[in-house]
Amino acid sequence: MLAENDASGMMDGTEMSKLPALLRPKFIRRLADGRERMETQLHRLRDGSAEASDLRELQGEAHRIAGIAGALGYPALGNIAARTDSILGRMLAEKDPGPDVTDAVRHVDVLNRAISTVLRTTQAVKQSA
Amino acid sequence: MKILAVDDDPLLLELLETTLESSGYENVSLASSGPEALRLLDSALKPYQCILLDIQMPEMDGIELCARIRRMDAYRDVPILMITAMTERSFVERAFTAGANDYISKPFDPFELTTRLRLAGERIEQQRAVSDKVFAIQSMKQELERTSRFAPDQPIQIEDVSGVVDQVMLENHLLRLPRADQYQAAAVAFRIEEFDYVYAMSRPSELFLLLTDVAECISEQFKHGEFLMSYAGSGSFVCLTQRTSPALDPQLLTRIQDSIDGLELEYENGRPCNISLVMGKPASKPLFFGGQPTTIIYEALESARVATRPKRSFLSVVHSRAANVG
């Protein structure tokens, strides 16, 4: 479960109350806006047509999610994004990514699915409210 | 506390701003890139008191930005906190090398952020207290220099040099000598040429040390006989010895000057302080003279006042320098 009520890394009520409620919808919107692009880049990564600019963009997005998700109540998503950020960064630093590509595909895929889960859960919470 | 937060993610900047404001830090400025941050820092009328920097940013990363901020005079000591994701921990060491004081891990915990900021604030207070003390000490030092500045003609007391007494004591000594000894006494005076220039170039404490050095060089030449000496002001020294003192030979001034040259005196700014000494004719009380015995002191000083420096041949200068080197 990756949504904001994830008990594994959920901030307590006092801390949550300090966080700006307005920022979470903005964060969710950004996740939704970037998802299609991420899926396209993931597809290119799988079929071997991805360019360095794709990797850089993917890493940038993973880095941004890693930096803020935890503070907004999505720590699990933040951890997945941090691992993806790390592996893409390593790939970009090396001239020959080699076997890291398979690993990168797996991590971006996990991140993409985690984003889907967060978006789905948020939608469900909205509808039930 | 006036804070500048720099991050390329507008959402994170918004989160930082809101978190900081909800913790009571209301004077927060935001920049989304290194160049924008530098522009804000440059144009700030009142310097920022704390800077939060993201490490990974396009164009100019937080480490380079940190190093550039540290090169700005107003931000040499201001607390800089790096905001870093777990994956960037390897950059933390570089960030510290670039001048960062602390770091906060992303995703940051608001409590941790405010604690680190509180610590940074305490550091600012401590620095302010230290700089206040430094300022107070500098003011006291300046005041001391101002009040301790003596007039060029003031006969200050030179201390810890063998045979040196103040001029009143020198005169009293002469007055108390048995009449026969008064006739045996001789006074000889030395004067620092262009003393007004040396005076103007030196701080009081510096001038005091310089006069002490010159007094030591003179004293050294008289140490084997009876002698007393005092500083008479205006760069003049007067020595009281005996007419028959072996020190009073024609090479006396040369030996003293060589000794002074050997010290290679410098002003505080590193420029050489070339002290040239002139010597007056020795004065002594003529037989059957009925006046004050202290007259010889003033005669000697007057003679030094009008004395000019004997020209030294090129070879004598070379020889004296060679002797100093040896």
Orientation of helix A52-68 relative to helix A100-128, angle to 10°: 50
Considering only CB atoms, A71 lies closest to which of B22, B86, B107, namely: B107
My answer on whether B288 and B189 are in the same domain is yes
Work out how many CB contacts closer than 8 A connect A with B. Answer: 69
Q: What DSSP state is assigned to residue B270?
A: S
Domain count, chain B: 2
Q: Do A18 and B12 touch (CB under 8 A)?
A: no
My answer on whether B189 and B262 are in the same domain is yes
In a domain, B149, yes or no: no
Distance from CA of A112 to the nearest CA of B (A): 19
Residue B46: CA count within 13 A, CB half-sphere:
8
- Using an 8 Å Cβ cutoff, are B25 and B1 in contact? yes
Distance from CA of B103 to the nearest CA of A (A): 14
My answer on whether B29 and B66 are in the same domain is yes
Strands of the B28-31 sheet, one edge to the other:
B28-31, B3-6, B50-54, B80-85, B102-106
Band of residue B72 on the pLDDT scale cut at 50, 70, 90: very high
My answer on whether B214 and B302 are in the same domain is yes
- Give me chain B's average pLDDT, please: 84
- H-type helices in chain A, by residue range? 13-18, 23-47, 52-68, 75-93, 100-128
Q: Do A86 and B108 touch (CB under 8 A)?
A: no
CB atoms within 10 A of CB B46: 8
In a domain, B120, yes or no: yes
- Give me chain A's average pLDDT, please: 80
Percent of chain A with pLDDT over 70: 78
Whether the CB of A16 is below 8 Å from some CB of chain B: the reply is: no
Q: Do B106 and A66 touch (CB under 8 A)?
A: yes
The CATH number given to whatever domain includes residue B253 is 3.30.70.270
My answer on whether B287 and B171 are in the same domain is yes
Higher pLDDT, A3 or B172: B172
Distance from CA of B5 to the nearest CA of A (A): 14
Q: What pLDDT does A11 receive?
A: 42
In a domain, B84, yes or no: yes
Q: What is the pLDDT of residues A77-101, one digit of tens each?
A: 999 999 999 888 888 887 655 657 8
Q: What pLDDT does A6 receive?
A: 42
Cα B103 to chain center, whole Å?
38
Indicate whether B52 pLDDT > 70.
yes
Query: Mean of the pLDDT values across residues B100-125?
Result: 81
The CATH number given to whatever domain includes residue B132 is 3.40.50.2300
My answer on whether B310 and B202 are in the same domain is yes
Distance from CA of B17 to the nearest CA of A (A): 10
Type of residue found at A87: I
Strand partners, B215: none
In a domain, B146, yes or no: no
Whether the CB of A73 is below 8 Å from some CB of chain B: the reply is: no
- Using an 8 Å Cβ cutoff, are B84 and B106 in contact? yes
My answer on whether B317 and B201 are in the same domain is yes
Considering only CB atoms, B110 lies closest to which of A15, A23, A60, namely: A15
Q: Do A23 and B15 touch (CB under 8 A)?
A: yes
Of the candidates B261, B268, B151, which has an alpha carbon nearest to the alpha carbon of residue B201?
A: B268
- Cα angle: A7, vertex A10, A12; to 5 degrees: 115
Q: B13: nearest CA in chain A? A: A68
Chain A, 81 to 120: residues with Cβ < 8 Å from chain B are: 82, 85-86, 89
Distance from CA of A116 to the nearest CA of B (A): 20
Question: Regarding the domain delimited by A20-124, which CATH topology (the fold level of the hierarchy) does it fall under?
Answer: Four Helix Bundle (Hemerythrin (Met), subunit A) (1.20.120)
Domain that holds residue B24: 3-139
Instruction: Give Cβ neighbours of residue B203 (< 8 Å, ≥ 6 apart).
Output: B145, B268
Q: What pLDDT does A114 receive?
A: 93
Lowest-pLDDT choice from A105-109, B22-26, B134-138, B270-274: B134-138
Indicate whether B40 pLDDT > 90.
yes
My answer on whether B196 and B266 are in the same domain is yes
Strand partners, B231: B237
Residue B233, CA distances (Å) to B150, B168, B266 in order: 10, 13, 21
- H-type helices in chain B, by residue range? 10-22, 34-43, 62-70, 89-97, 110-148, 167-176, 179-184, 195-201, 204-222, 252-263, 295-306, 314-325
Sequence spans of domains, chain A = 20-124
Orientation of helix A52-68 relative to helix B10-22, angle to 10°: 10
My answer on whether B32 and B73 are in the same domain is yes
Of the candidates B146, B167, B145, which has an alpha carbon nearest to the alpha carbon of residue B156?
A: B167
Considering only CB atoms, A71 lies closest to which of B22, B87, B108, namely: B108
Q: What is the pLDDT of residues A34-70, one digit of tens each?
A: 988 999 999 998 888 888 888 889 999 999 999 889 8
My answer on whether B109 and B208 are in the same domain is no
Q: B23: nearest CA in chain A? A: A18
Considering only CB atoms, A23 lies closest to which of B11, B56, B107, namely: B11
Higher pLDDT, A103 or B188: B188
Strand partners, B152: none
CB atoms within 10 A of CB A107: 21
Of the candidates A67, A116, A126, A61, which has an alpha carbon nearest to the alpha carbon of residue B62?
A: A67
Mutation to test the A interface, candidates B86, B103, B112, most A Cβ within 10 Å: B86
Considering only CB atoms, B85 lies closest to which of A27, A75, A85, namely: A85
- Using an 8 Å Cβ cutoff, are B48 and B121 in contact? no
Q: Do A63 and B56 touch (CB under 8 A)?
A: yes
Q: Do A68 and B54 touch (CB under 8 A)?
A: no
Distance from CA of B74 to the nearest CA of A (A): 30
ipTM, 2 decimals?
0.75
Q: What pLDDT does B288 receive?
A: 66
SS3 (DSSP) at B115: helix
In a domain, B288, yes or no: yes
My answer on whether B123 and B185 are in the same domain is no
Query: Mean of the pLDDT values across residues B189-204?
Result: 90
Angstrom distance (rounded) from CA B49 to CA B121: 8
Instruction: Give Cβ neighbours of residue B89 (< 8 Å, ≥ 6 apart).
Output: B105
Band of residue B322 on the pLDDT scale cut at 50, 70, 90: low
Q: What DSSP state is assigned to residue B74?
A: G
Mutation to test the B interface, candidates A6, A10, A18, most B Cβ within 10 Å: A18
In a domain, B211, yes or no: yes
Q: B85: nearest CA in chain A? A: A67
Q: B58: nearest CA in chain A? A: A60
In a domain, B157, yes or no: no
What are the backbone angles phi and psi of residue B266, rounded to the nearest 5°? -135, 150
Q: What pLDDT does A7 receive?
A: 35
Q: What is the pLDDT of residues B237-288, one digit of tens each?
A: 999 998 888 888 889 999 999 999 999 888 877 888 889 999 999 998 876 6
In a domain, B151, yes or no: no
Is pTM beyond 0.90 here? no
Q: What pLDDT does A2 receive?
A: 45
Burial class (CB in 10 A: 0-12, 13-18, 19+), B325: exposed
